[in-house]
Structure 1
Amino acid sequence: MTQHSIEIIGFSHVCIAVSDAEVSLLFYRDLLGLDVFFDVELEGPPMEVVTGEAGARGRMIGGMLGGTVVELLEFKHRRLAQQSENMLGYTNISLSVSDIDATVAAFEAAGIVPEQRPVEIGGVRMFFVRDPDGTLIEFVSYPNRERTSAQMWGYGN
């Protein structure tokens, strides 16, 4: 490994802005299994500093999902616009599943239509769904029961 000037000790969390925390909990907690361990109201100077907006307030819900902390952040002082399809930077979160077909069936049973049928690229099967706010979420199944792309590529072995 190469030496870097900043030592990263771990991946902290993924934060997803949502328009309605209760609706998003139905998706992330009740359907995907987000194990919520905090739910806090945010306001005052710390929230104003983070957002750069006077009067900023919101609600943040955090939990474990697939071994990663996911935070749902609802801004209560203003409405957010949905992201466009053509954007740079963050595009989606990707969650590993052991059975891609069973996952598609579970979404369909919940009334959520996947963006497409599962496709296979280089032995990896995947499909996308959108959360209640349109945020793209990828579901992926790796060959040989690997859980991550790092495992599939032999990284760390």
Structure 2
Amino acid sequence: MIKGLHHAGLSVANLDGAIQFYTTAHAFEVIARFEVADRADLRAMMAVADSACEVALLRGPTGFLELFHFKNPAEPDGPPEVYHAGLRHICLQAADGDWLYDAFVGAGAKSHARPSGLGTGNLYCYIRDPEDNVLELEGLPYAASVVSPPWFAHVALVTPNIQRLSAFYSLVTGAPVHSTGHFGPEPKYDVVAGLKDIVFDGAWVKAGPLTLEFWHYHQPQTEPKPMVDASRLGWSHFALEVDDLDTEYQRLSAAGVHFHAAPTSNGAVRFVYGRDPDGTIFELLEVLPGHEHLSLDHVTGRDLPAEIDRLVAQFYRARAQAATS
């Protein structure tokens, strides 16, 4: 069974700088830092030319962030745009969106606009970290009762075929596509994206308590991308925690899902890397006994997503009642 979205992986040029940025406002804390050797089995699993890297594992209230500094990273293919295919951003939420924005801009983030509304009750903005990677920040004013550092809410994948990709991750997670939408052109979307006259489709699949979000841009057009090298600077992969890796590996292999190699272990987790239909890398991992602190079962905010869902429903009920009164 899939427990949930465990972490997003980011390949960085400056590990100390990335740690300093992503621990802003206590969004994440470092819980491990270690060296990985260049080995043939790891090169095969990670699909890289050289697996030698330093890794920092960071934990937040609802999930983890894994930062990689490869000794010999693949050449980047230019700054990422929000409509480019692949794992495009992660989302951090807090009750106070302006405070969250000011904290990250103060830590070195670049931005084209302050948080603004889209009619959902949330405030949204895209920022870029000091290495130009995209993050989404969301403020949830209706969650003012929540006392927590900023929390990890979702990963977003941009795709040239949203039906195919959302169906794939529905298969992987065992959860249905629970929402879809078509958006734009409207100025409010342009403000958030920093683009003009955008038109796009969206879809959402639950991955345990957190969410996988999918976007297909029509203006500007999302194009297919070459196969990603996990060592290339930028968002490289994301991981789903499972309770029985062998069962999930066999289930998905039988369904035709491509994995780089058979599951392996680093002593703390067993894991396997695979590819989705767009070529984006995803990981399945199982936490081994004695390392329970690495599991989603032990994050401090494991009940927070359910509380947010309750507050969202309450917000929409109140808005509907106000509209009919």
What TM-score, normalized by structure 2, do the two folds share? 0.42
Whole-angstrom CA distance in 2 between matches of 1:10 and 1:79? 28
Task: State the match for 2:155 in structure 1.
Answer: 14
- State which of 267, 285, 288 in structure 2 corresponds to 1:122: 267
Output one character per residue of 1:89-148: Cα deviation in whole Å (capped at 9) or x when no partner: 321111011111111111211112211111110231100111111111000011129777
Higher Cα radius of gyration: 2
| 1:149 alignment partner in structure 2 | 294
The RMSD of aligned alpha carbons is: 2.9
Separation of aligned partners in 1, 2:177 and 2:293: 23
Change (3 A) 1:145 1:43: farther
Native 8 Å contact 1:98 1:145 kept in 2: no
Instruction: Determine helix, strand or coil for the equivalent of 1:8.
Output: coil
Corresponding residue for residue 257 of structure 2: 112
Larger helix proportion of the pair: 2
Q: Is the CA contact (8 Å cut-off) linking 2:160 and 2:217 kept in structure 1? A: yes
The runs of 5 or more residues in structure 2 that have no matched partner are 1-22, 27-102, 104-147, 301-325
Percent sequence identity over aligned pairs = 22
Match of residue 73 from structure 1: 215
For residues 193 and 24 of structure 2, what CA distance do their matches in structure 1 show?
33
Counterpart amino acid of residue 155 in structure 2: V
Shift of 1:55: 2.9
Following superposition, the deviation at residue 3 of structure 1 comes to 9.4
Is the alpha carbon distance of 1:122 and 1:35 closer, same or farther for their aligned partners in structure 2, counting shifts above 3 Å? same
Q: Which region of structure 1 is more displaced relative to structure 2, 67-76 or 33-42?
A: 33-42
Tell me how far apart the structure 2 counterparts of residues 133 and 58 of structure 1 sit (CA, whole Å).
Answer: 18
Q: Which has the higher contact order (CA 8 A, sep 6+)?
A: 2
Question: What SS does the aligned partner of 2:152 have?
Answer: coil
Letter in 1 for 2:261: Q
Matches within 5 A, 1:1-157: 4=25, 6=103, 8-44=149-185, 45-77=187-219, 78-82=221-225, 84-85=228-229, 86-144=231-289, 149=294
| Matched length | 154
TM-score, length of structure 1 as denominator length: 0.81
**Matched-pair contact (CA < 8 Å) for 1:96–1:148:** no
- Secondary structure of 2:243's counterpart equals coil
Instruction: Name whichever of 48-57 and 91-100 sits farther off.
Output: 48-57
Q: 1:69 to 1:147 in 2, by over 3 A?
A: farther
Distance 1:147 1:105, change over 3 A: farther
